[in-house]
Amino acid sequence: MTDAATTDPLFAGLNDKTITAIPATVEKQRYLTSVAPKAANSGKWVEMPRLPIATGEHAVIECQGNIHVIAGYARHRVDGNFHQVYDGKAKTWSLKAEFPIRCNHVAGVSIGSKVYTFGGFIEQNRCPHSKCYIYDTATDQWSPIAGLARPRGAISAIVLDGKIHLLGGRDVRSVEWHEIYDPATDKYTILGGMRGSTGTQPFVGQRDHMGVAVVDGKIHAIAGRMDSYDFNTGLNAVYDPKTDGWTFRAPLPTPRSGPSCVYINGKIVVFGGEATGKVFGTNESYDPKTDSWEQLAPMAIPRHGLHGATCAVIGNMVHVPGGGPVPGGQVQGAYHDAFTFG
């Protein structure tokens, strides 16, 4: 572990090193609204301690009350290997053992005291790799685990019944792949692709940059895109492991890719994201009981590009560390805030 003290700017350009703040031109690209009705409790955003290093297209994973920010675009490179950790009790950041491979768009989750990561891109949103790792929070060490049979980045990963589901992602193009990693055996099971249960239902995949959440033992795969943010979707597809099939619920009112997504207080909350010429601060919540969406308080600083679990819940706060404040990957942020229903 090293001291997290830094003189890095709050925002940083990827290629243009003169950028140390959000460009003023982004004001015309910010999208904050929703067609969904306003919720009775729209929640609020609270600013939190900034990251040491401005980062985008990185993994965000909560593990035992701490937040791990892994790899991504940082310090004018697309292949960062920084591992920034937020102590949820002390409310401070530190730098831990570097990620073993320089890359971006890493998928990841935590189980117990371990963090698991899967794939990613070596170059900017392309050149996927198959390497996967486990991080031991007790020893601050990374170790390799079985790699992906099909290399890709921008996968959506989530834990269900002690196993890790890997959904979608992109190799050269977006894919509909669905596989399960079993930490107990270090092996993968490849399932059928993300498809509707009947021929007349919409095609669930191919998608990447999705949000995923588990509700009542089922996985919701929400929003995302096919190949680029020119082709975003609002699909809300639900996977039932008992039937190994997909069905569909009310779609996200504001289609986008690269959002953050989490299940909290009985609602799936989806915020942030990007589209052609847009960066979203829109914040919408889904009620699984009524199959309906509502509008919540928009982000103070709209951002996108958080992978891994896409955000981190500590107590009643949904933390959003870093992310890109403009469409695409030309600016990274060290800004950190959190959403709460109060």
Q: pLDDT class for 7, splitting at 50, 70, 90? A: confident
Query: How many angstroms from the chain centroid is the CA of residue 135?
Result: 18
Give dist(CA 193, CA 177) in Å, integer: 5
Other C-beta atoms within 10 Å of 29: how many?
18
pLDDT of residue 199: 61
**What CA–CA distance (Å, rounded) separates 67 from 262?**
15
Tell me the per-residue pLDDT of 266-297, one tens digit each, with 9 for 90 and over.
Answer: 999 999 999 999 999 999 999 999 999 999 99
**For residue 221, which phi and psi values (nearest 5 degrees)?**
-110, 110
The predicted pLDDT at position 193 comes to 85
The mean pLDDT of the chain is 95
Sign of the torsion angle spanned by Cα atoms 226, 312, 8, 104: negative
Q: Is it the case that residue 318 has pLDDT exceeding 70?
A: yes
Q: pLDDT, tens digit, for every residue of 59-71?
A: 999 999 999 999 9
Residues 255-261 have a mean pLDDT of: 97
CA distances from 165 to 95, 168, 197, 263 (A): 28, 10, 19, 16
Alpha helices in the chain (DSSP H): none
pLDDT of residue 263: 98
pLDDT at 52 over 60: yes
Q: Using omega within 30 degrees of 0 as the cis cutoff, is the peptide bond preceding 330 cis?
A: no
Report the 10 Å Cβ neighbour count for 295: 19
Tokens of 40: 């009775």
Q: Which CATH superfamily is domain 25-340 in?
A: Kelch-type beta propeller (2.120.10.80)
C-alpha dist (Å) from residue 158 to 141, 167, 187, 188: 22, 9, 16, 14
Region 43-56 average pLDDT: 98
**Going by DSSP bridges, is the β-strand pair 317-323/30-31 parallel, antiparallel, or unpaired?**
unpaired
Q: Which of 168, 175, 160 is nearest to 118 (CA)?
A: 168
Mean pLDDT for the stretch of residues 230-242: 95
Give the confidence band of 337 by pLDDT, cuts at 50, 70, 90. very high
Q: Tokens for 115? A: 């963090």
The whole-number average pLDDT for the span 71-81 is 98
Closest CA to 306 of 272, 280, 281, 339: 272
pTM of the model: 0.96
Q: pLDDT tens across 169-212, in order?
A: 999 999 999 999 999 999 999 998 887 666 666 567 789 999 99
